[in-house]
Structure 1
Amino acid sequence: MPKSRRRTTRKTRRTAQMLILLAIAAAMLLALYAFSRARPQDVPWTPLDLGQPIGLFTGRKIAALTEQPALCRALLDRAGAHFDAIPPFGADQCLVEDGLKLAGGARRITLLPENPRMACPVAAGLAMWEWNIVQPAARRIFNQRVEAIDHLGTWNCRHIAGSTSWSQHATADAIDVAGFRLADGTVINVLRDWKGDAKKAEFLRTVRDGACALFSTVLSPDYNAAHADHLHIDQARRGAMSRRPCR
């Protein structure tokens, strides 16, 4: 076969291959677009909506709100999670500029002790956690709702125990959940019930696992003895591809 004809054949083959690859890429983009319309939180580029079901990227989108306090508050308001904005508090490494207190409203979250100060992304995670994980689990397992969430604190200007690194509590980017109170007065306690009553233990593990989709870090009694009496959940600033501890 003449060289010119061989060159023409190779060029034709490369063109055909390129057209096939372009067609495949176009089909994939179309599929992704359709998927993003049906489940917007499963793709990274769609705007966060706290009223949408939890998706693959919901947690990372919430954590990113640490750099967008105005947007965070707007999203909470739009979703019906009423709150009271508060002035900046703390100083230096413990300065909190996007703090708020969750309040009553159409979609109410009761925390005991009441009115803890927290960074906005923590509030956003808590709101979605209660609506999508905590209440559905309570209805399924106990056939009733959770009336309150017991906690051990949010803001605390300190280092991580045994470390020189600052805790997420130092900037109110964390909350330690100690238990839950059901509508009939039943108390579910992390320390007592993690390995106790079967239904309560199931509930605690269900809400722990669900929190992992919404928070940067979730640590439970399964992690170490220091967390025997609470679930530590925080919105630590992490890279897009960094590991999000969940244990």
Structure 2
Amino acid sequence: MSPFLYSLFTHDCRPADGSDTIIKFADDTTVIGLISDNDETAYREEVDRLAEWCDTNNLLLNTKKTKELIVDYRRNADPHPPIYIKGTAVERVSSFKFLGVHISEDLIWMTNCSKLVKKAHQRLFFLRTLRKNHLSSDILVNFYRCTIESILTNCITVWYGNCSASDRKALQRVVKTAQRIAGAPLPAIKDIYRKRCLKRAGKIIKDPSYPSHGLFTLLPSGRRYRSLRTKTTRYRNSFFPTAVRLLNSAT
């Protein structure tokens, strides 16, 4: 109930400009600003408004725990001046952990994958311990699905499409190791990714109120979906274009 109540009590904390977005979950609030033509006015004013809103509603905004991440692919990008909250500069980072996912400024998922693999390897120790105690293969598989696969596939529809080949191999090696320990076949990470993309796309298609519902448009034939135009490999491998391709290949 805590995340729901927080969102309910802070419903009036909304962005004033269309280029900004405020995401709230539990006691975590994130401000996202789309900067165009080097004009950061709307974004900086949004941060100031958020600080004022916190003061008005008796909420403490911890500047020391606040981080700023800039995603800028321009070759000759001008340096961005720091953000200040009540006279204190916000620390700028190259990556940070957001709801369990490590996001980097270049949107490369090497850090996220390495963290997941490291955490999964720690859980493999317990899987081996269970095997040494002669537990059945079914129990070992259930343990893997609950404690290891859940880690490897956390928010997989967000990051797996743009993972490097080496990162995908590292993730799959964990699965193969667990498979040898459990003595039973386990689903590949790639298959889980495809299945979850299709499941998520199906929910979006059934929900007309979803913000990205319009991206799934049927062709006049009514059988296939219109492909999304992509200019970069990063966008082409992201969730929505991938989901459309998977839906069309499934028909």
TM range (shorter): under 0.3
Greater share of strand residues, 1 or 2?
1
- From the CA coordinates, give the structure whose radius of gyration is larger: 1
Structure with more relative contact order (C-alpha pairs < 8 Å, separation 6 or more): 1
TM-score for both structures, normalised by structure 1: 0.26
